[in-house]
Amino acid sequence: MFLTLKTLLAGTLLAAALPAQTPQTDRTAECAAAGETCYGVLRVPLDWADPASERIDVRYLWLPRGDRTKPALTTVVANGGGPGPLDPAYAELGKALLGPLADRVDVLMVEPRGFGDADPTCEGLDGDRPETITACARKLGEKAGYYTTDQAAADVDAARAAVGAQNVTFVGNSYGTLLGQAYAARFPRHLRAMFLTSVVGTGDDGYDQQGFRNQAKLGLANLEAACRRSPACARENRDPAALWERLVRRLRAHPDPRVPLRRTGPLVTAAHDARTTLAAANAYLRHDPAPLRRLITRKAPVELTPALFTYYCGDARFPFDRDAAPAERLRQLDAYAEQHRVFWPYTAAETESPAADWTRRCASWPTPRQSPPVSGTFPDVPVLAIGGQFDSDTAPDDAASVAARFPQGRSYTVPFGGHGQLFGFSPVSACL
């Protein structure tokens, strides 16, 4: 029997609700009685473990249910990932997924602390210049250590209490799935169910472990799997990984200004273009550079905010000591990478992938506070975790491992699916 995504989600939403406790904060009822979309602001402690700590602003978005004559079945807390500022489009997507249940379900989105109008800023912050990273961290000081997912989970529950929601169904995508796990572990009595896509996995210590993953190797495995689906591609490319390694060696020995070695990395993680990509690599090795040059695109400039560093660096465990100085961290990272080949077939300087980029950036960002996103035990609630077969950002194994931690957890791998499947980022998004 085949189940649609709406059917699976509806079944998750209809799970039994649980009572709750909540962190204490300056509560506001500005959106609690709203009959239409409402933006609110909470004043919350910088450090939830210290109620007397400095207060900061956290924004939230409240989309009340259409049928106000009946109590809500649940409140969907939606987080589209990033992390980043509030995105109302994800709230609307959450409503659309609910189908006939939409009129009976409220939707709440909470902006991760550190984003939005009041976010901390650092002029000249450049991810490719370590000195600007350490300077930014020095400017923000100890305060930066509290803009992390463990604190953001408490912000979510404070917003839940402020709008009067009784129970939560968490719907998260990508980095939002890490917040969902943090919320489930810290506020289990408030959680009714979870629906997670493109899931970020965590280790036994509660930290994101992507800094230990070879994204290029995973991408090459996906390229090979996609190629095997085409008899012609399989005949032409009996060993795609070996082919790509030869290409990397050629470009390393004979640099091509129109094919910078670092710009070949993104091609490895695009499994849906496997036949075209591998054909271009073969052509280049036969001294026909045109096809590969056509595939190379300029890297779009990305504006990095301090909050991205506080989350990505504070929420993760990397192959270096959290307490070490930046120079020592880089030495430890290089030693680990050489021993375990975590950037193969590239070197650390040649690779270009989100995991590799942030691993090196975070070596220059101090993280003195222990802040594992996931801490505690998971509740006995229905959880559906979906991964994409060709997702090299968050592997399908992560969805399976996270679901397995919940007594009622289920996982599903979408064949040929990529990252961010509900947002149209994957070729199979329309099917979902």
CA separation (Å) from 235 to 82, 231, 232, 241, 246? 39, 6, 5, 15, 18
State what percent of residues in the chain have pLDDT above 90.
44
Q: Which amino acid is at 235?
A: R
Is the pLDDT at 66 greater than 90? The verdict is no
For the chain, what percentages of helix, strand and coil (3-state, to nearest 5) are there?
Answer: 40, 15, 45
- Band (pLDDT 50/70/90 cuts) for residue 13 is very low
pLDDT of residue 49: 93
Residue 40: in which H helix or E strand, if any?
strand 38-45
pLDDT of residue 154: 96
Alpha carbons within 13 A on the beta-carbon side of 31: 27
- Band (pLDDT 50/70/90 cuts) for residue 22 is low
Lowest pLDDT segment from 45-59, 174-188, 332-346: 332-346
Lowest pLDDT segment from 235-239, 346-350, 403-407: 346-350
- Band (pLDDT 50/70/90 cuts) for residue 8 is very low
423 or 170: which leads in pLDDT: 170
Is the pLDDT at 384 greater than 90? The verdict is yes
The answer to whether the CB of 191 falls within 8 A of the CB of 166 is no
* H helix intervals, 363-425: 396-404
The 3-state DSSP class for residue 381 equals coil
Q: What single-letter DSSP state applies at residue 130? A: H
DSSP string, 72-87: -SEEEEEE-SSS-S--
Torsion, Cα of 50, 51, 52, 58 (10° steps): 100
Query: How far is the C-alpha of 91 from the C-alpha of 80, rounded, in Å?
Result: 9
The answer to whether the CB of 219 falls within 8 A of the CB of 271 is yes
Is the pLDDT at 281 greater than 80? The verdict is yes
Is the pLDDT at 71 greater than 80? The verdict is yes
Is the pLDDT at 193 greater than 70? The verdict is yes
pTM of the predicted protein model:
0.86
Is the pLDDT at 139 greater than 90? The verdict is yes
- Band (pLDDT 50/70/90 cuts) for residue 368 is confident
Q: What are phi and psi of 378, to 5 degrees?
A: -90, 145
Q: Which amino acid is at 265?
A: G
pLDDT of residue 179: 96
Query: How far is the C-alpha of 229 from the C-alpha of 225, rounded, in Å?
Result: 7
Is the pLDDT at 9 greater than 70? The verdict is no
The answer to whether the CB of 162 falls within 8 A of the CB of 42 is yes
List the CATH code of the domain at 5-120+149-206+376-423: 3.40.50.1820
The answer to whether the CB of 420 falls within 8 A of the CB of 195 is no
Query: How far is the C-alpha of 417 from the C-alpha of 428, rounded, in Å?
Result: 6
Q: What single-letter DSSP state applies at residue 45? A: E
Mean pLDDT of 184-191: 93
For the chain, which residues make up each domain, given as ranges? 5-120+149-206+376-423, 209-371
Is the pLDDT at 420 greater than 50? The verdict is yes
Burial of 236 (0-12, 13-18, 19+ CB in 10 A): middle
Centroid of chain to Cα 293: 30
Mean pLDDT of 323-331: 90
Beta-strand ranges (E) seen in 164-302 are 168-173, 191-197
Beta-strand ranges (E) seen in 270-428 are 382-388, 408-414
The answer to whether the CB of 87 falls within 8 A of the CB of 175 is no
pLDDT of residue 432: 60
Query: How far is the C-alpha of 276 from the C-alpha of 381, rounded, in Å?
Result: 44
pLDDT of residue 351: 80
Handedness of CA 192, 198, 202, 207 (dihedral sign): negative
Is the pLDDT at 129 greater than 80? The verdict is yes
Query: How far is the C-alpha of 166 from the C-alpha of 77, rounded, in Å?
Result: 12
For strands 74-79 and 55-63, give the pairing. unpaired
DSSP string, 228-248: HTSHHHHHH-S-HHHHHHHHH
pLDDT digits (tens, 9 = 90+) for 140-152: 999 999 999 999 9
- Band (pLDDT 50/70/90 cuts) for residue 14 is very low
pLDDT of residue 28: 54
pLDDT of residue 272: 77
Mean pLDDT of the chain: 85
pLDDT of residue 1: 36
